[in-house]
């Protein structure tokens, strides 16, 4: 421990990101990025924003981006005042934990879930109550009651890939009107139902999404939240208390253009879902048991139960997948859906092993 660290920093248990190796080129199926390039319109907007105006601070409110998000979800009643944007949904989630979940009662999240939640709970000194997933990894939202500390869960869940329907989320909201309910929809665009249409009825609902997966912009770092203007105003207060310019000019312009390019977005999501279904079928033929996926990844248990050895053998052959050395999930591999060609190579290597 450094003598200069605070006790808080000493006690932190920071998040370890998935591998981003620089030593060689891998078929990268380990961090759920999109295998397709960003929308050409997004790239053009980023290039156009790289001009002499970079000497000026960007719009602190990122109105162009908020308007593009509001227009995309306009049929659900979303307006600019319902939208918060940040530097990746990880940053948005940090502000959520900091500003919206801090109460006297514990916050609730699933015991198998996005591993950043315990990191933020620790950082912001929130007491957390972990709610176990069922035996078959189902998330039962009926188990989430009697709290006003707040509830957060991903839909689809990560790393299990399984989704719940909007009707189940609505039942949760009806049973928990005093708690902030945060639905982390990082993977919602690959076949799950967004909860955004519920925001006009439930002022305690916040939906968080990202440009890193379905919009191919992980490298730009943009995420957003949609909810009642009161929740959004709370997030703005937190943001303006430590970083009033979270997004640069290029990020605002690129993400807004990506949001407006609906056709490109729809076609890449569709392609990934088609490739996913092919991958699930082939993995099943190889004897894997694969959880039902509504995400751009699958969670699969190898027939011989040798997940860690398989992860290492795949890596040696130039294919990276994700292995979690944690109870209950250490028999599984999380495999991001790549291009058809990448998945064919992966399946070929797997069959050889």
Q: Is the peptide bond before 156 cis (omega within 30 degrees of 0)?
A: yes
Taking CB under 6 A as the binding criterion, the range among 47-55, 85-93, 123-131, 318-326 that sits at the site for ligand PMP is 85-93
Closer to ligand PMP by Cβ: residue 35 or 223? 223
Take residue 210 and report the two structure tokens written for it: 């990202």
Query: Does 210 help bind ligand PMP (rule: CB under 6 A)?
Result: yes
What is the H or E stretch that residue 218 is in? none
Torsion sign over Cα 236, 237, 238, 242:
positive
Smallest gap from residue 17 Cβ to ligand PMP (A) = 8
* Exposed e or buried b per residue across 53-87, where buried means at least 16 C-beta atoms within 10 angstroms of its C-beta: eeeeebeebbebbbbbbbeebeebebeeebbbbbb
Q: Is 186 in the site for ligand PMP (CB under 6 A)?
A: yes
23 burial via Cβ count (<10 Å: 0-12, 13-18, 19+): exposed
Please state the closest distance from residue 295 (CB atom) to ligand PMP, in A.
9
Which CA distances in Å does 97 have to 208, 336, 346?
12, 27, 38
Q: Tell me: does residue 154 bind ligand PMP (CB under 6 A).
A: yes
Q: What residues form DSSP beta bridges with 225? A: 84, 208
CB of 128 to ligand PMP, least distance (A): 16
Burial class (CB in 10 A: 0-12, 13-18, 19+), 5: exposed
Residues 238-277, interacting with ligand PMP (CB under 6 A): none
Nearest Cα neighbor of 31 from 186, 138, 256 is 186
- Smallest gap from residue 110 Cβ to ligand PMP (A): 11
Q: Does residue number 149 form part of the binding site for ligand PMP (CB under 6 A)?
A: no
Decide if residue 88 touches ligand PMP (CB under 6 A). Answer: yes
Report the DSSP beta bridge partners of residue 310.
none
Query: Angle 150-203-257 (CA atoms, 0-180°, nearest 5)?
Result: 100
223 is an interface residue for ligand PMP by CB under 6 A: yes
Measured from the CB atom, is 34 or 158 closer to ligand PMP?
158
Binding to ligand PMP by residue 114, rule CB under 6 A? yes
In the region spanning residues 269 to 328, those forming contacts with ligand PMP, defined by CB under 6 A, are none
Q: How far is the CB of 112 from ligand PMP (least distance, A)?
A: 12
Chain position carrying tokens 């909007």:
166
Stretch that binds ligand PMP, among 44-52, 68-76, 86-94, 170-178 (CB under 6 A): 86-94
CA-closest candidate to residue 140, choices 176, 159, 164: 164
Pick the closer one to ligand PMP by CB: 158 or 298: 158
Number of shown-chain residues binding ligand PMP (CB under 6 A): 12
158 near ligand PMP, judged by CB under 6 A: yes
Contacting residues toward ligand PMP, per CB under 6 A:
88-90, 114, 154, 158, 184, 186, 210, 212, 218, 223
């Amino acid at each position: 421990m450094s003598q200069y660290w605070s006790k808080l920093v000493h006690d932190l248990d920071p998040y370890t990101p998935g591998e981003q190796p620089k030593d060689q080129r891998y078929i990268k199926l380990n961090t759920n990025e999109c295998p397709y390039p960003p929308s050409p319109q997004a790239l053009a907007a980023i290039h156009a924003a790289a001009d002499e105006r970079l000497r000026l601070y960007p719009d602190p409110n990122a109105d162009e981006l908020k308007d593009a998000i509001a227009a995309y979800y306009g049929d659900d009643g979303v307006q600019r005042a319902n939208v918060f944007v940040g530097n990746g949904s990880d940053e948005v989630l940090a502000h959520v934990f900091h500003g919206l979940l801090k109460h006297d009662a514990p916050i609730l999240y699933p015991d198998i879930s996005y591993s950043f939640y315990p990191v933020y709970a620790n950082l912001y000194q929130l007491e957390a109550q972990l709610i176990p997933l069922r035996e078959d990894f189902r998330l039962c939202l009926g188990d989430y009651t009697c709290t006003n500390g707040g509830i957060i869960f991903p839909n689809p869940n990560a790393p299990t890939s399984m989704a719940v329907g909007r009707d189940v989320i609505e039942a949760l909201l009806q049973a928990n009107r005093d708690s902030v309910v945060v639905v982390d929809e990082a993977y919602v665009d690959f076949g799950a139902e967004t909860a955004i249409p519920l925001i006009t009825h439930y002022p305690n609902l916040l939906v968080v999404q990202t440009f890193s997966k379905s919009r191919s912009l992980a490298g730009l770092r943009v995420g957003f939240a949609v909810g009642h203007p009161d929740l959004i105003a709370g997030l703005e207060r937190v943001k303006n208390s430590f970083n009033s310019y979270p997004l640069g000019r290029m990020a605002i312009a690129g993400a807004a253009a990506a949001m407006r390019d609906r056709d490109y977005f729809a076609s890449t999501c569709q392609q990934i879902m088609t490739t996913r279904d092919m991958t699930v079928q082939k993995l099943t033929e190889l004897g894997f048991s694969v959880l039902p996926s509504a995400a751009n990844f699958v969670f699969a248990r190898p027939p011989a139960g040798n997940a860690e050895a398989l992860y290492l053998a795949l890596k040696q052959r130039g294919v990276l997948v994700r292995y979690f050395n944690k109870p209950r999930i250490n028999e599984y591999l999380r495999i991001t859906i790549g291009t058809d060609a990448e998945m064919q190579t992966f399946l070929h290597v797997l069959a050889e092993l």
